Amino acid sequence: MAIQDLYPERYAYCFGCGSRNTHGHHIRTEWDGDETVSTFTPEAWHIAVPGFVYGGVIASLVDCHSTGTAAAAMLRSAEDSGTVVPGQEMPFRFVTASLQVQYLKPTPLGVALTIRGRVREWKGRKVVVESTVYAEGVATARGEVVAVQMPENFGVES
Amino acid sequence: MAIQDLYPERYAYCFGCGSRNTHGHHIRTEWDGDETVSTFTPEAWHIAVPGFVYGGVIASLVDCHSTGTAAAAMLRSAEDSGTVVPGQEMPFRFVTASLQVQYLKPTPLGVALTIRGRVREWKGRKVVVESTVYAEGVATARGEVVAVQMPENFGVES
């Protein structure tokens, strides 16, 4: 199960990772040991120049995979300490305070991409996550996201 | 006329700014004095959480507006010096070496966004551009792109 499957319904419409956004990328972040992993195969129209993936899509992968990793890490910790019961609705949702991406190489279009994330720093409501995008085993982009836990009422329409 | 209208046909399919990408954002960068400007109205599905624009779309606006600004600046300089004749096919196309975005405030969904860019540094084939995203006059995100002029044969299928 991906961390995004646990987001409450009202937060399940994100263009990057919302399972209910019919136009979106549906990024799905899962644990793999101490890292998180997701895979994404860009569509033909996610092109930059012929043969290569658009950098804004790569930035989106880094963004949602990283905020998902921050939520997953906080959930795992809360479950370990017993403050959250496994299986209950996801109580943590993060927003992006800053996003940084280095494009190491052109990312080829037409293959599945793997994104791997790791928590680098964690202080209160702020979690810093590093995510790397791989194409056929080669790191093509590396990003860092400063993710901040959202206020409870953020995005709730009054 | 936007700078993207001058890109050669093979570079006109970018998901962010290609005029020929039927699924894309069609970002269009124009001069406004010493700054560049573009406007973009996100679609309903470009959502993060209810009421607000997805950060990956904002990163895409910063990305393509900034690489467009780099190309526009290089073209203006080449036209001024007479090395390029105005109206000929765009000889400069930039790729993104790095992208950095600070999300200053949540960006409201449902309004037109304005992106304003400015060249901050220029050294050979490398141009650093700062772009700011405004919603109803309020700066909601600020980004910096290190744009590098593409090799001539980049993305040309052999």
Question: What does the domain layout of chain A look like in residue ranges?
Answer: 3-149
Determine the Cα–Cα distance for residues A3 and A28; give it in Å rounded to an integer: 7
B23 to A45: CB separation less than 8 angstroms, yes or no: yes
Strand order across the B94-103 sheet:
A30-32, A35-40, A113-123, A126-135, A138-149, A94-103, B94-103, B138-149, B126-135, B113-123, B35-40, B30-32
The nearest CA of chain A is from the CA of B1 a distance in Å of 21
Whether B148 and chain A come into contact, CB under 8 Å, resolves to no
Q: Tell me the average pLDDT across B55-71.
A: 98
Interface of A with B in 43-82 (CB under 8 A): 43, 45-52, 54-57, 59-60, 63-64
What is the pLDDT of chain B when averaged over all its residues?
A: 93
Q: Is the pLDDT score of A28 beyond 60?
A: yes
What is the pLDDT of chain A when averaged over all its residues?
A: 93
A49 to B97: CB separation less than 8 angstroms, yes or no: no
**CATH number of this structure's domain A3-149, picked from the four choices 2.30.30.240, 3.30.360.10, 3.10.129.10, 1.10.10.10:** 3.10.129.10
Whether B106 and chain A come into contact, CB under 8 Å, resolves to yes
Specify the pairing of strand A94-103 against strand B94-103. Answer: antiparallel
**Which pLDDT belongs to residue A122?**
96
Compute the radius of gyration of chain B from its Cα atoms: 15
Q: Is the pLDDT score of A55 beyond 50?
A: yes
Q: Tell me the average pLDDT across B78-103.
A: 89
Residues in chain A within 8 Å Cβ distance of B10: 49-50
Q: Is the pLDDT score of B110 beyond 70?
A: yes
Please, which pLDDT band fits residue B77 given cuts at 50, 70 and 90? very high
Q: Is the pLDDT score of B156 beyond 70?
A: no
**Which pLDDT belongs to residue B155?**
57
**Which class for B16: exposed (0-12), middle (13-18), buried (19 or more C-beta within 10 A)?**
buried
Q: Is the pLDDT score of A85 beyond 90?
A: no
- Take residue B44 and report the two structure tokens written for it: 């309903």
Give the model confidence (pLDDT) of B8-35 as tens digits: 888 899 999 999 999 999 999 999 999 9
Which residue type is seen at A114? T
**Which pLDDT belongs to residue A35?**
98
Residues in chain B within 8 Å Cβ distance of A11: 49
Using a pLDDT cut of 90, give the percent of chain B over it.
82
What's phi and psi for A121, nearest 5 deg?
A: -160, 150
Largest CA distance in chain B: 51
Q: Is the pLDDT score of A158 beyond 80?
A: no
ipTM: 0.93
Determine the Cα–Cα distance for residues A23 and A13; give it in Å rounded to an integer: 10
Determine the Cα–Cα distance for residues B17 and B63; give it in Å rounded to an integer: 10
Q: Which sign, positive or negative, has the C-alpha torsion B14, A53, B58, B127?
A: negative
CB distance A49 to B150 below 8 Å: yes
Residue B53's nearest CA partner among B65, B63, B43, B64 is B43
Tell me A151's DSSP state: P
Residues in chain B within 8 Å Cβ distance of A56: 15-16, 25, 56-57, 59-60, 63-64
Q: Is the pLDDT score of A155 beyond 70?
A: no
